[in-house]
Structure 1
Amino acid sequence: MRRFASIAGSRCGASLCALAFLVTASEARPQAVASFDFRIDAKPRLSALADFTTTTGIQVVRLGGGAISGTSPAVSGRLAAESALREILSGSNLTYRFTGPRTVAIESSLDIAIETISVSEASIGRGGVSEIDITSADIERRNATDLRGVFRGEPSVVVGSSLPMSQKLYVQGIDETNLAISIDGSRQNNKVFHHNATTMIDPNLLRALRVDAGVAPADSGPGALGGAIAYLTKDARDFLAADGFGGSIKSTFNLNGNVSTTNLTSYSRQGGFEALGSFTYGKGSEFRAGNDEQVLGSSTNVLSGLGKLAYQSAEGRRLSISHELIRDDAIRPFRANAVQIYGPQMTPLVRPYTLDRQNTVVTYSNDSAEGWWDPNVVLGYNRTQVAVDQYAGATLDTYSHTSKGLTDSLNGKLENKFALPIGDIVAGIDFYRDRARSIEQTYRTAETADNVGAYAQARLKLANSTKLSFGLRGDHQQFGGINGFRSSDHGLSSNVSGEHALTSHLTAKAGYSNVWAGVPLAENYVQNPAWNYGAGPRSVTSDNATAGLVAHFARFRIEGGVFRTRIWDARVPLWAAAMALRAFDVQSQGFHIGSAFSWDDGFVRLRFVRTDATISGRPADSYFGKYLTAPIGDILTVQVEHRFAPLSLAIGGDVEIAFEDDSLLNPVTGIGRLDGYEVVNLFAEHRPIAVPSLTLRGDVRNLLNQTYAARGTYGLEYGSGIVRPLYDPGRSYLVSAKLTF
């Protein structure tokens, strides 16, 4: 854990912690003796402790300055939390003390100030069969500056566009607008303009995130046609295990574009009250691609922030409120997801874009709940506005007016987790009221959707070798269209998944879901006051299937699987009066293989994914695929890291190889080829032993200086004579410094 104190403050804090240990010891013991089902492979001890937190919900706090190194033995079976922790720490110089109902402190008998770890060294994974778990350690290691960086090394999640404000995310080939997206538990409704990003978020504010690729549980929320993504932002508990205060400042400078990004974070805990504030500001010029050309409209001007207040009683009852925002305001290409679409030039090449997204969430939970009463109440409101200037001619001096698109969602849920001897059941109700409004010079339009749902999801361990999860949800939606049109519909969604240990080294897993999602709202910027809905839009449905095998041998793991998502009646309207009900059937399928090997001070991971998508039976392209899918093809990623603990030094990198794909190629026109590329990124990070509160890092991005547009980027398959896509930055040097205080 990174602590913020002077020597005197540290001594005082240690005394307070010692007193707190004595006071809370009797409260901590029930959680320590509670039993859980563990399946932790032999791995680096730090990773095993993260798995321990995932399984038990008990936060691991590192007191002092010693490193957590070495290898944990395998821990499996139904064990008391304390027994499992004892096994993980066996053979080390580490001891533990339970300091609260869901907190355990780790201390070392040696006083070696090499490295500290964060309280938040944990995931929010739930063990789903197709789950992608991005921990806080992953985010820190990748030094992410945008959504692409967050998912670096995860080829099942593709993020297109080199501009954060126009990045589109695809999970196993399915656009994120067909997933259930939440931030801090609040459902998101951010679809405004197809030239913009849907959910732009600052990685500096993220604690962790979870992706359910394809098959998603019922408690992920409504509309999980192709899966779900849950983002979790930081709070004061991620930095402080007890009362105190502190902060950090991190600055990153990218020489490609002279982009400076600074994050300032402060936090405190006192008598059950908690507060956190975090702000990021980025400013810079246009970057250069691998061909040394400046990418038009790629300058940086972004501001983001997060504020959280919380109170937690001694009994664990917790009430929190948070507000998160991000604003991107800069000159962008006229169509912000492509530099230029060639043809008669009727518009300027660039224009101002302003994207403003805000998310407010109130949450009540009980962090010390046991048995059949473990409530979770969430009430959220989010709002996204995109403003763009419109012109009467091809130059900026022909400005006509500013158009605005605004979406928002008022949503909430009330659920409870019922603990069982063999697992748990989560049951609850949720609602949302989504709106999508267009504000033009001569008219205003809006569509609305109101939904009420009820759900239950069971997660059971039937034996030491078998896990089963299944759920059901029912939803009723009322849709409101332009000119007073109204319709309503209802439907059921179901899912089932599980895994079975065939041998001590081989596990099979599979899952299936069928999803009813109601009617999706139209993009704001295509809404037409003359739309005719006829008999009304049809509700969107989907099914998802996945199956795979996982083999694990001590520190080595290899896995492979197949997946398929089919979506019917996916609504993607156009502005024309007769296009309000335009819809397609979408299919994305493929396979993935991967392997990983870890040692005491590092790891290497390799993953390959093939994704093939079709739209109403024809290969997907990025034009017809708007809000649906994109041509992805074959992608291979490699990640590697090694830590030199005595030197407090970490080095590593990652590689992404996208293979050439001719599945869309028209042999007559030559249009449709997806060019291949190889991108290599390297980093080195050092924490001086004399100043353990300081972290220095250097990155080299795109070491080979490739000229390329990443998969998922609009128009990359059309060729330079039709669409000039947004190329990614060429070789870029980044230097970062972070100081905690």
Structure 2
Amino acid sequence: MEEDVIVRFFYGLIKMYQLKSHRHLRFGAAVLLLMVLAGIPAGVFAQTVTKTDIKQYNIAPGPLGSALEQFTRRAGINIFYDEALMDGAGTKGLQGSYPVAQGLEALLDGTGIIALEGSGGWILKPKADPVSSTQATGASDQTNALETNSSQKNIEVPAIVVSGNREKEIVSLEQINRNLASDVSDLFDGTPSVVVGGGSRNAQRIYLRGIESTNLNMTIDGARQGRALFQHHGSVGGLDPSMLKQVEVQTMGSADQGPGALGGSISFETLDAQDLLLPGKTSGARLKTGYNSVDDAILGSVEVYTVLKDHFGLLAHVSGANRDDYENGDGRDVLNTAGDDRDYLFKVSMLDWDDHSLRLSAQKNTATGNSNWGGTGSDIGEASDTESAVEQEMERSSYTLDHRYSPKTNPLIDWKFNLYSNENSLENIDAGNTVDTTEYGGSAKNTFFFELGTTRHHLTAAMDYFKEDGSYDNGSEETTNSSDNFGLALQERMDFGRFSLSMGARFDDYSSEYGSETVSGNEISPNINGEIEIITGLSVFGGYSEAVRGSSIIPIQWLSLIEDDVEINNGNPVEPEESNTRQAGVKYATSGLFLPEDRLSAGVTYFNTRLTNTIEVESGGRMGQPITAIYNNPDTLTSKGYEVNLAWSIKQFRTRLAFSSFETEDGDGNPAGVIRRKTAATGDQLIWDLKWNPKPNLTFGYTLTYVADLTKVPEGDNERPGYVLHAIQASWQPEAIEGLTLSLAVDNLFDKDYCDQTSIEGDYGAISEPGRDIRLAVTYQF
């Protein structure tokens, strides 16, 4: 029976690939989904289980932390909790077959802890805890609880993430809040696999394992962020970190991950009104003001929210920041780095109403300031004066609809539907020109839960589409271009015993305009990932994935320079941009290793990502020169290396080490260095983070960042020096004033003068990063 499903699956792939016309391709791809679903015999559905997925557990009595680690690996879920919950906590163990919810309930029996279910996993809370914190990580539909308790709807940011999902990494928002993050660069301070270089907010670029964000699938509440406008502009730089509920980094591809994820994906999810509501309240507000010394920034934000009849939430948010030029570690002002930011969000959220959840959101953020439009002082090097700076305004507006339907009694329906419109614009106010994009799209997916013999399956069928229209208006003439992508995906995730397997295939039908020429085609991208638990707590994993993109790395403004008689790929068919990623590693988790109440987790991951066929400009483009030729760059760029993670905690103390070592190479094995919109290398990176809660209302933290010298550079380039940074954090919630939080963070404590190694060098070197930054914040919620 299983062999028949597989045969039908690959037969459908072959037939679809043989079709040529777009109309028939889309029809054939749709037929493929029906073929695969029809290939599952009716008898299979007679073996379906509840969506909670019944599994056999054999967990011995002992420390609760160790038991939870065993449970997540077996159940394939994420669990979030604060370290303090594990202090002296033990469990009676778990023997027998249970759905996830009932299994957790039995495992937590007698501990005084309950579990709340959300879209990103399960969050553990004290049963009688009057929750008073302000954000959630990985949970949205808090009313799905093992014990219904209206005072438990607000979930605080957990310090520990126990993950059973081998495909995703969830960024710790606890550390982000501790750092008083004020921009995207601060978001990934504790994540060495993600580097943000560029110094100035106008020049910041995101790199995931050395791959620039142009090659990532970046989404905010499901809205894809699309192509760069000019140089790197048009990414996620305007996000307000205080409004984030979850940040997911996915380094291995999956079919249902979305289009164009050549180097992986990063998805951001914003808060709902339900996440901010205090216990016993139906409405409230959160006020925050702050100051950053390095650029004399004044920051402020206001959120007001209400929840009607336990299901319907309304949230309105506005925040702003006014910044002067920042100082580097040498005490010198870095010119043209000042600016003003504004962020607005309005969101309606209907959660867990008759198994439905619906979110409608509208978000707008703007960033204005004076900076160079191109060349040295823009995203290359450091400006030497202010005479070349022009007034610029960057604006992003997003509108999203997200619907989810997951009836608890029907395991064959776990439905997610998303529609979005995303508009980006960059205006050179002094010159009177504007470059913008308008993208609309959406996705629909359903996951079927069923059993085949002794194996348990989560089969996801997905469909997505986007259309992006770009334009450049220089005040007298407007040029336009368009690209679109239609995708279908099948992703099977199964487990049997100690072995888990995920495999799938994605079909993309793409089209992209280059002046008067249109390039179109279609590709199929497979993936496979597996994991096996060798002994309790010790697992090995590995996988391979492919991804394609039919558009290009050419920014929208540059596309306006394409001549009508542009030569495309020397007259040869244009191939889509492609990537393939290999990953393998080992991870281990245990409790009571050194002391009865301690917890340890460790892991090593090796990776190798290759980019090929990048579609780029062959001649013209620079300094406004007409583009006369576009081609598939035959060179292959490779980012390869390894990451090590180690975390240990006991009672109110936690420490974490994260190490990353990788290098980027061209097709001949030579160092690739920093290449715009493609890759960048850094020296080995080590992050050591400590957190201590001597009292429930008092938190201290310390973070060390070490970056080694970068000596493997292209011939003729300068080696890049390494650096060591120190940061401290503290927060206090005075008992005398309920809802008040006072926070302090000092970044670059010893005022180190340094440049990020991924920043592009110009005539005056690379741009300096900010020096010592004393950050103060006061938050009041009622």
Flag whether TM exceeds 0.5 (same fold): yes
8 Å Cα contact 1:621-1:631 kept in structure 2: yes
- 1:712 and 1:685 mapped to 2: Cα distance? 32
Matches within 5 A, 1:195-274: 195-196=232-233, 198-200=235-237, 201-213=239-251, 215-240=252-277, 244-271=282-309, 272-274=311-313
SS at match of 1:723: coil
CA offsets, 1:388-444, max 9 Å, x none? 25xxxxxxxxx6x22221122111111111112414111121111012222224543
Aligned to 2:615: 571
Aligned to 2:151: none
Aligned to 1:392: none
Q: State the aligned residue count.
A: 680
- 1:360 and 1:37 mapped to 2: Cα distance? 43
- 1:517 and 1:103 mapped to 2: Cα distance? 34
- 1:204 and 1:127 mapped to 2: Cα distance? 27
8 Å Cα contact 1:337-1:726 kept in structure 2: no
CA offsets, 1:514-554, max 9 Å, x none? 22222326202222141604336421111100000112231
| Paired AA for residue 209 in structure 1 | V
Matched, 1:649 2:695: no
Cα distance, 1:123 vs. partner? 6.1
Q: 1:682 aligns with which of 703, 728, 751?
A: 728
Structure 1 stretch displaced more, 118-127 or 442-451: 118-127
CA offsets, 1:62-87, max 9 Å, x none? 9xxx9856255587886334444345
Unaligned runs of 5+ in 2: 1-48, 141-160, 592-598
Aligned to 1:394: none
Cα distance, 1:121 vs. partner? 4.1
SS at match of 2:174: helix
Structure 1 stretch displaced more, 435-444 or 262-271: 435-444
Aligned to 1:661: 710
Pick closer, same or farther for the CA change 1:678–1:197 going to 2, 3 Å. Answer: farther
Aligned to 1:291: 330
Q: 1:120 aligns with which of 117, 136, 139?
A: 136
Pick closer, same or farther for the CA change 1:476–1:661 going to 2, 3 Å. Answer: same
Pick closer, same or farther for the CA change 1:194–1:222 going to 2, 3 Å. Answer: same
Matches within 5 A, 1:365-380: 365-369=404-408, 370-380=410-420
SS at match of 1:621: coil
Aligned to 1:437: 471
Aligned to 2:209: 172
SS at match of 2:563: coil
The TM-score normalised by the length of structure 1 is 0.83
Matches within 5 A, 1:76-87: 79-86=98-105
- 1:343 and 1:707 mapped to 2: Cα distance? 14
- 1:374 and 1:216 mapped to 2: Cα distance? 21
- 2:664 and 2:507 mapped to 1: Cα distance? 29
Matched, 1:384 2:418: no
- 1:702 and 1:35 mapped to 2: Cα distance? 49
Structure 1 stretch displaced more, 188-197 or 162-171: 188-197
The TM-score normalised by the length of structure 2 is 0.79
Pick closer, same or farther for the CA change 1:146–1:103 going to 2, 3 Å. Answer: closer
8 Å Cα contact 2:135-2:245 kept in structure 1: no
Aligned to 1:638: 688
Q: 1:621 aligns with which of 673, 687, 693?
A: 673
Pick closer, same or farther for the CA change 1:76–1:456 going to 2, 3 Å. Answer: farther
Matches within 5 A, 1:13-412: 35=54, 68=85, 70=87, 79-86=98-105, 89=108, 92-94=111-113, 108=127, 116-118=132-134, 120-122=136-138, 127-129=164-166, 131-196=168-233, 198-200=235-237, 201-213=239-251, 215-240=252-277, 244-271=282-309, 272-312=311-351, 314-335=353-374, 338=377, 348-369=387-408, 370-388=410-428, 401-412=431-442
Cα distance, 1:459 vs. partner? 1.6
Pick closer, same or farther for the CA change 1:312–1:601 going to 2, 3 Å. Answer: closer
| Paired AA for residue 213 in structure 2 | E
Cα distance, 1:500 vs. partner? 0.6
Cα distance, 1:619 vs. partner? 1.8
Pick closer, same or farther for the CA change 1:97–1:166 going to 2, 3 Å. Answer: closer
- 1:243 and 1:303 mapped to 2: Cα distance? 29
Aligned to 2:43: none
Matched, 1:467 2:486: no
- 1:457 and 1:88 mapped to 2: Cα distance? 31
8 Å Cα contact 2:272-2:315 kept in structure 1: yes
- 1:342 and 1:117 mapped to 2: Cα distance? 42
Pick closer, same or farther for the CA change 1:640–1:311 going to 2, 3 Å. Answer: same
Structure 1 stretch displaced more, 466-475 or 552-561: 552-561
| Paired AA for residue 600 in structure 1 | K
| Paired AA for residue 199 in structure 1 | V
CA offsets, 1:437-470, max 9 Å, x none? 222245432331122111111121221x111111
| Paired AA for residue 263 in structure 1 | S
Pick closer, same or farther for the CA change 1:37–1:245 going to 2, 3 Å. Answer: farther
CA offsets, 1:249-291, max 9 Å, x none? 1112112221111111121111232111111100121111100
- 1:372 and 1:492 mapped to 2: Cα distance? 26
8 Å Cα contact 1:516-1:541 kept in structure 2: yes
Matched, 1:480 2:513: yes
8 Å Cα contact 1:468-1:496 kept in structure 2: yes
Cα distance, 1:378 vs. partner? 0.8
SS at match of 2:490: strand
Aligned to 1:547: 584
| Paired AA for residue 588 in structure 1 | S
Pick closer, same or farther for the CA change 1:521–1:154 going to 2, 3 Å. Answer: closer
Matched, 1:673 2:711: no
Cα distance, 1:313 vs. partner? 6.5
- 1:50 and 1:446 mapped to 2: Cα distance? 54
8 Å Cα contact 1:156-1:171 kept in structure 2: yes
CA offsets, 1:498-523, max 9 Å, x none? 21111113210111012222232620
Cα distance, 1:175 vs. partner? 0.8
Cα distance, 1:713 vs. partner? 1.7
| Paired AA for residue 387 in structure 1 | E
8 Å Cα contact 2:227-2:553 kept in structure 1: no
Pick closer, same or farther for the CA change 1:329–1:346 going to 2, 3 Å. Answer: closer
8 Å Cα contact 1:130-1:546 kept in structure 2: no
Pick closer, same or farther for the CA change 1:69–1:268 going to 2, 3 Å. Answer: farther
8 Å Cα contact 2:225-2:235 kept in structure 1: no
Unaligned runs of 5+ in 1: 1-29, 390-398
Pick closer, same or farther for the CA change 1:182–1:38 going to 2, 3 Å. Answer: farther
- 2:337 and 2:184 mapped to 1: Cα distance? 16
Cα distance, 1:34 vs. partner? 6.2
Aligned to 2:600: 556
Aligned to 1:524: 556
Pick closer, same or farther for the CA change 1:68–1:406 going to 2, 3 Å. Answer: same
SS at match of 2:630: coil
SS at match of 2:345: strand
Q: 2:737 aligns with which of 664, 676, 691?
A: 691
CA offsets, 1:357-410, max 9 Å, x none? 121111111154541012111111101111125xxxxxxxxx6x2222112211
- 1:568 and 1:493 mapped to 2: Cα distance? 14
SS at match of 1:177: helix
Pick closer, same or farther for the CA change 1:44–1:57 going to 2, 3 Å. Answer: closer
Aligned to 2:34: none
Pick closer, same or farther for the CA change 1:175–1:313 going to 2, 3 Å. Answer: closer
8 Å Cα contact 1:122-1:136 kept in structure 2: no
Q: 2:546 aligns with which of 504, 508, 514?
A: 514
8 Å Cα contact 1:260-1:282 kept in structure 2: yes
| Paired AA for residue 773 in structure 2 | S
- 1:47 and 1:116 mapped to 2: Cα distance? 25
Cα distance, 1:198 vs. partner? 2.3
Matched, 1:594 2:635: no
- 1:431 and 1:635 mapped to 2: Cα distance? 38
Pick closer, same or farther for the CA change 1:342–1:677 going to 2, 3 Å. Answer: closer
Matched, 1:426 2:460: yes
